[in-house]
């Protein structure tokens, strides 16, 4: 088991908050004891300071953003055995349409939007990738889908509004969504400072 974490310097940064770095913790006993992975670290300005993961086939896919809520998502992948070996990570470059190994600066935006607290899953029923995230500009939780994780991604769809759920944030997909007509996700609200299990229907769209 792994946890991707961020070491926060300040919660009042220009983009939401500022970190010192991000990294991984590992547990080999089902979460009883956690140890810091000393050999893997993302810098304060990394495009993978926050990330959502999903294991699909040969690779673990990792969609990352800068820390905060004001950057576009980028894509990396690695084999399970290489999770603690950053030099083995591959980054999707949409301009060259290829994976580039070992250099995260080569990763390009999957789409343009202000993305925070993202989560991804592959829906086996509709054969679609689904991403959810908090969008500060629209003050909502947004969903997008794609046939391939490297895109193209659909236009944004609102699945929870700040007008209905004041001070909402977070959008972490529950694994039960993987083969379901419904998308289950965890949504937080600053007031009453709690987490709620939400459900919305997955609608299949023909292109």
141/156 Cα distance (integer angstroms): 10
Q: How far apart are CA 47 and CA 39, in angstroms?
A: 18
Instruction: Say yes or no to pLDDT of 189 above 50.
Output: yes
| Helix H or strand E segment including 75 | strand 74-78
Instruction: Report d(CA 18, CA 84) in Å as an integer.
Output: 24
Q: Taking Cα atoms as reference points, which of 83, 89, 79 lies closest to residue 23?
A: 83
Q: Give pTM, 2 decimals.
A: 0.94
For 29-86, write each residue's pLDDT tens digit.
999 999 999 999 999 999 999 999 999 889 999 999 999 999 999 999 999 999 999 9
- How much is the average pLDDT of 119-132? 96
Q: What is the mean pLDDT of residues 173-200?
A: 95
The pLDDT of residue 15: 75
pLDDT in tens, 87-124: 999 999 999 999 999 999 999 999 999 999 999 999 99
Predicted local distance difference test score (pLDDT) of residue 205: 54
Residue 199 has a CB neighbour count (10 Å cut-off) of 13
**Residue of 149, 114, 157 lying closest to 134 (CA atoms):** 114
């Amino acid at each position: 088991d792994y946890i991707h974490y961020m070491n926060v310097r300040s919660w009042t940064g220009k983009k939401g908050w500022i970190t010192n770095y991000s990294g991984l913790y590992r547990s080999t006993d089902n979460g009883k004891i956690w140890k810091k992975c000393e050999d893997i670290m993302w810098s304060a300005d990394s495009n993978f300071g926050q990330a959502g993961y999903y294991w699909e086939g040969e690779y673990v896919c990792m969609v990352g953003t800068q820390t905060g809520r004001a950057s576009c998502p980028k894509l990396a992948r690695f084999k399970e055995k290489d999770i603690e070996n950053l030099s083995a990570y591959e980054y999707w470059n949409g301009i060259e349409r290829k994976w580039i190994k070992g250099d995260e600066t080569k990763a390009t935006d999957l789409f343009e939007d202000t993305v925070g607290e993202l989560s991804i899953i592959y829906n086996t029923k509709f054969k679609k990738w689904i991403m959810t995230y908090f969008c500060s500009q629209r003050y909502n939780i947004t969903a997008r889908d794609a046939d391939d994780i490297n895109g193209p991604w659909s236009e944004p769809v609102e699945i929870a509004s700040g007008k209905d759920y004041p001070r909402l944030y977070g959008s972490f997909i529950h694994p039960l969504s993987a083969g379901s007509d419904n998308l289950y996700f965890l949504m937080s609200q600053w007031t009453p400072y709690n987490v709620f299990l939400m459900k919305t229907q997955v609608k299949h769209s023909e292109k």
